[in-house]
Amino acid sequence: MIKIDGIVVVEGKDDKTALSRVIEPEKIYILNGMSGANQKKIDDLKRLAKNNKIYILTDPDYAGKKIREKINKNIPNAINIYANKFLATKKDNVGVENLNADDIFELFKNIHEVEKNKKDKFTITELMDAGLLVGNNSRIKRELLGDILAIGYCNGKKLLNLLNSLNISRKDFDAAVEIVNKMYKFKDKNAAIFGKFFPVHKGHIKFIKLVARYCKNVYVFVCSETERDKKLNEKSKLANLTINDRKRFVELEVKGYKNIKVLELNEDGIEPYPNGWEAWSKRVNEKIEKNSLKIDCIFTNEVQDQEKYNKYFNIKAYLLDPKREDYSISSTMIRNDPEKYIDYFSESVKKWYFKFKIGRAHV
């Protein structure tokens, strides 16, 4: 559980339910939507603000913005937390309730408070040089920057004011700008990701969602090869994992994200990795053509694979998160010692694993 030194304000009961997975329920204050943000509730929050920090976490939509503005006007020292709109959107529903536990942990790891008597460290010139104020892509870049720094979207003037009032370091700003300038060009691109996902874990899911935040569509190929999969299952301390299981687990983890599609790629008859790249690339292209897919780029976190993708495909491959900074884990580690790495399981795999354990205990 996250220890909160204040009160987190949300819009509705479902938001509280989502947050209660990682935050003490008594620390969460429900407004009940726009109508709930009435003067009585505002006065109650002003009373609570005398002895508590007030954190605002409203939905990343128009109504949420208006509620946030109303609270900020009445409680100027409130701390704003912004949910990522992509992560908070499932199908056509936008809300904090759609965030999973890991998303919520990330939000509260990146809280930016207003620093009193802080000297300006960022200038208009720097923002212009970063392409955040002028140019055809400046709006997209500000949107991405706000997402990465967890400060929400704002116009150029407000962005400069926020950067100079919040506890955002130059190191964090420079790192965010680097990502923005690398990723903004993928907004209209269709990407592919390949993997065995044997089993899918939190690192995989974070990587897939990260790519999906920047790209128009993401096609996730779950690769299978009969003999290889048989050998992996024989050595594994998990229950037998079929290709249908692995594909289903990935689908469950990205359910509701309209721009993520999951497909199977059968690799039977192809020389095992790290060989067979030419035959494998041909198989991939056949799959793409058969399913009438348009793929503009490939994403990987494997340096050696990026080189091979670029060699054997007419599609550019890009490296993302090669150090796996948040989740230094592999499926091999999980298969070899599931109990040790249980915290890295994706939710769907964890449910499956415990069901298997219970069943085995009754044999």
User: Is residue 230 a contact partner of residue 241, using CB atoms and an 8 Å limit?
Assistant: no
Largest CA distance in the chain: 70
This prediction has a pTM of 0.85
Instruction: Give phi and psi for 188, each to the nearest 5.
Output: -110, 20
Please state, in angstroms and rounded to a whole number, the distance separating the CA atoms of residues 325 and 360.
35
Q: Please, which residues have CB within 8 angstroms of residue 274's CB and are 6 or more apart in sequence?
A: 304
Q: Could you count the other beta carbons within 10 Å of the beta carbon of residue 96?
A: 26
User: Is residue 259 a contact partner of residue 218, using CB atoms and an 8 Å limit?
Assistant: yes
Chain centroid offset of residue 290 CA = 30
Per-position pLDDT tens, the chain of length 363:
788 889 999 999 999 999 999 999 899 999 986 666 788 898 999 999 999 999 999 999 999 999 999 999 999 999 999 998 889 998 889 999 999 888 898 888 878 877 776 677 899 999 999 999 988 899 999 999 998 888 888 899 999 988 988 888 889 999 999 999 989 999 999 999 999 999 999 999 999 999 999 999 999 999 999 999 999 999 999 999 999 999 999 999 999 899 999 999 999 999 988 899 999 999 999 999 999 999 999 999 998 999 999 999 989 999 988 877 778 899 999 999 999 999 999 999 999 998 876 655 444
| Token digits of residue 302 | 């494997």
Quickly tell me which residue has 């420079």 as its tokens.
174
pLDDT tens figures, 222-264:
999 999 999 999 999 999 999 999 999 999 999 989 999 999 9
Please state, in angstroms and rounded to a whole number, the distance separating the CA atoms of residues 297 and 192.
6
SS3 content of the chain, % helix, strand, coil (to 5): 50, 15, 35
The amino acid present at 73, given as its one-letter code, is: K
